[in-house]
Structure 1
């Protein structure tokens, strides 16, 4: 279930967030993600914020589908970047095999831990065979709120690797680092690039039990 307090904070801070993370060129991680996609690929930007990544994807010839739970973020993506951004949460259904790529950059860290495997399963289903998933998360343990009230769930890289593999993804690249976010704290993060390769392990077990 979407955290209403987190959405409220992003509505209030939408303009500040857009200014803080705006850049004229795609980041290195976004360039790496795009290099794995076929020309003209359809890409789900899940938690698009003000639409920066989607605008770079569009400029590179891809077909972004920007989705965010914050009405103010969606409005910025539409009005300032001319994107077809739409309102949605992680709980909304996704069309099966609709995308060649998913960009989930520091968005799923706001989901509750118990919901995370289900979200990965939905992303697996919405990707076409060999589809590419970029996942950006903050590293750590437990869950907490920042000074603004945003809810975070933290994972170590090893746990994320296990979860992705169980969901049917092959890890292609891992990058760890530290960076200051909107709240001003310098936090450790991990960026993980993976490819859809198989039926998730959990479903293989279900099939074998029938």
Structure 2
């Protein structure tokens, strides 16, 4: 994610976003991901925001890394006990076979859809064989900005399933619904967990 306007929105509203992220802890996909991880798992949260979920990974005994392009978010994530945080984006993911799990919840959607295949491929390479990828995004088509200026890429569920399959990821969990995020706009979403 490198869109300046999107980054500025998150920097300005970091505290408000942190409150919303705390509510996300109640969602079943967080519990499922944690339950699927081996003891002492090494996990990466890309686009971690304030690092609330990454903190839960660390609290569960995982080696938890948090990446975000917004310095204010990185500082919040670094304050979570047991979390190693750094300012980084998808393009920085060059590791091969090192992570038991990668968590990318509503972060890739702020990058151009044209970049998604390469980003999915980087995730798949970075996972250990059998590693788990969690991916959350908004459903729809095309690219647009929301009411507070953030850039979004939208994808349909069939297109997302095709992208997972083309990347060699085997989907084992999906959850769809609707929710309101930082802008207050209600939109359909999907959460997917897949194995490398």
Fold-level match, TM-score > 0.5?
yes
Which protein shows a greater Rg? 1
Matches within 5 A, 1:121-140: 121-140=121-140
Residue 38 of structure 2 corresponds to which residue in structure 1? 38
Cα-Cα RMSD: 1.4
Range with greater deviation from structure 2 (81-90 or 110-119): 81-90
User: Structure 1 90/24 Cα, relative in aligned 2: closer, same or farther at 3 Å?
Assistant: closer
TM-superposed deviation, 1:165: 0.6
Residue 162 of structure 2 corresponds to which residue in structure 1? 162
TM-superposed deviation, 1:23: 4.2
The runs of at least 4 consecutive aligned structure 1 residues that moved more than 3 Å come to 23-26
Gaps of 5+ in 2: none
Q: Does the 8 Å contact 1:9/1:150 carry over to 2?
A: yes
Matches within 5 A, 1:1-210: 2-23=2-23, 27-79=27-79, 81-82=80-81, 83-196=83-196
TM-superposed deviation, 1:26: 5.1
Partners of 1:5 and 1:24 lie apart in 2 by 24
Gaps of 5+ in 1: 197-210
Range with greater deviation from structure 2 (26-35 or 42-51): 26-35
TM-superposed deviation, 1:137: 0.5
Listed one character per residue, the Cα deviations across residues 152-198 of structure 1 (whole Å, up to 9, x for unaligned) are 000111100000110010010111100111100111000001001xx
Q: Does the 8 Å contact 2:179/2:188 carry over to 1?
A: yes
Partners of 1:145 and 1:105 lie apart in 2 by 18
Listed one character per residue, the Cα deviations across residues 30-75 of structure 1 (whole Å, up to 9, x for unaligned) are 1111222211110010110000110110111111110001011001
Query: TM-score w.r.t. structure 2 length?
Result: 0.95
Aligned residues: 195
Range with greater deviation from structure 2 (109-118 or 91-100): 91-100
